[in-house]
Structure 1
Amino acid sequence: MTVIAFLSVAPVTEQSMAGDVAGAVAALDDFDVAYETNPMGTVVEADDIDTLLDAVGAAHEAVDADRVSTFLKIDDKRTSDQSAREKVDAVERELGREARSER
């Protein structure tokens, strides 16, 4: 089974969040997960829900702020081992091109 999640962890602040977000992303390195960060969050993949939740908890705790906002969306398709990359590949096959554009 592959569990895929979209994670966003950030301090509630008007200042730059880059350092805090980097700390949250770095915390994922201590777990057996794959991840890719984009401008809006991080896609995390794990073999099971427990590993995913442990990694997400560590990312949340890594932000040292008075107030931390964490958003988590989990796709736990228990009958498939389809990776996040495979999901994007399927969309790109349907589009007939990469699922991105340049401004």
Structure 2
Amino acid sequence: MTTVAMLSVAPVIEDSMAEEVAKAVDALEDFDVSYETNPMGTVIEAETADEVFAAAQAAHEAVDGDRVSTFLKIDDKRTASSSAADKVDAVEDELGREARSGE
């Protein structure tokens, strides 16, 4: 996989967004992408940026509301294949430890 993206889709509402965010995440199941949801968004991995765009559009359209805010940041590494996990591993190698707090 060479394209890694950070996707955040949310309705602009006062109450909990969990139900609508779940719809966006569920929409990703229809695409050939891998993903992991975290508290600030969802990391998506795919072979091409086109696959990421299609999945992100479906996630955006899955959310109901008068106003929906979507943020998509793409890292399309074209000269080498590097997964999201590889990127974290490289940072952890530099740190000499896990890239998280001691919780």
Q: What TM-score do the two structures reach when normalised by structure 2?
A: 0.96
Q: What's 1:24 paired with?
A: 24
Other-structure match for 1:8: 8
- Note the C-alpha offset of 1:49: 1.2
TM-score computed with the length of structure 1 as normaliser: 0.96
Partner Cα separation in structure 2 for residue 22 and residue 77 of structure 1: 28
Once the two structures are superposed, the pairs formed by residues 90-101 of structure 1 within 5 Å of their partners are 90-101=90-101
Deviation sequence 1:37-87 (CA, Å, 0-9, x none): 110001100101111111000000000111000001110111011000000
SS in 2 for 1:58: helix
- The percent identity for this pair of structures is 71
Q: Mark the runs of 5 or more structure 2 residues left unpaired by the alignment.
A: none
How many residues are treated as equivalent by the alignment?
Answer: 103
User: Shift in Å at residue 102 of structure 1?
Assistant: 4.0
The answer for unaligned runs of 5 or more in structure 1 is none
CA–CA separation in structure 1 for the residues paired with 2:27 and 2:13:
20
Matched with 2:85 is: 85
Counting only pairs closer than 5 Å after superposition, residues 29-48 of structure 1 correspond to structure 2 as: 29-48=29-48
CA distance in 2 between counterparts of 1:50 and 1:39 reads 25
Q: In the TM superposition, what is the alpha-carbon distance from 1:24 to its structure 2 partner?
A: 0.3
* Contact 2:7 2:42 (8 Å CA) reproduced: yes
Q: In 2, distance between residues paired with 1:30 and 1:9?
A: 17
